[in-house]
Amino acid sequence: MSSTSMDHIGITVTSLEQSLEFWAKLLSAVVVDRRKLESAEIGRMVNYDGAVIDRALLESPFGFSLELLQYISHPDGLVQPRAARPGTVHVCIISDEFNRIWEQALGCGSVPVGKSPVSLPSPDGRTFKVGYVITPDGIMLELKEAIAPK
């Protein structure tokens, strides 16, 4: 019998140190592995000869891992994510402390998208806050208020 599951989310960043601070604080995550990736195999896998990547793996208390990658040998510009642009991916964080994580994301350099945050109705008629920000590394991040069970 075979098994398939999600292992981690990987994000290419401009500054590993700044990104570690941002994500560790936002997710209460800890670094479980940090190393430099540098081999012919890595270069072939990412299609960059001589690739040198500074990598950190964070584990969150929420059951998922986040891999942060800074390409030392082949730095590139930021992507320009937009909600309607095909290929744009967003990461959603849900919290019962919406205002705290919203302010924390902004305090770490994220920029709100549009008129975020907004209040939306849930299927059962209650409202919750939700908003998009763009992180300093160009990641679209959705922050969503958890609704307490009835």
pLDDT at 87: 84
Q: What is the pTM of this model?
A: 0.86
What mean pLDDT is predicted for residues 106-112? Answer: 93
pLDDT at 67: 96
Q: In one letter, which amino acid is 48? A: Y
Helices 98-107 and 16-27: crossing angle in degrees, nearest 10, is 170
Domain with CATH 3.10.180.10 in the chain: 8-71, 90-145
The pLDDT confidence band at residue 3, using thresholds 50, 70 and 90, is: confident
- The CATH code belonging to domain 90-145 is 3.10.180.10
Question: 8-71 architecture in CATH?
Answer: Roll (3.10)
- Higher pLDDT, residue 64 or 37: 37
Question: What proportion of the chain, given as a percentage, has pLDDT over 70?
Answer: 100
Nearest to 129 by CA among 142, 114, 119, 121: 119
What mean pLDDT is predicted for residues 112-131? Answer: 93
59-96 tens-digit pLDDT: 998 888 999 999 999 989 888 888 888 888 899 999 99
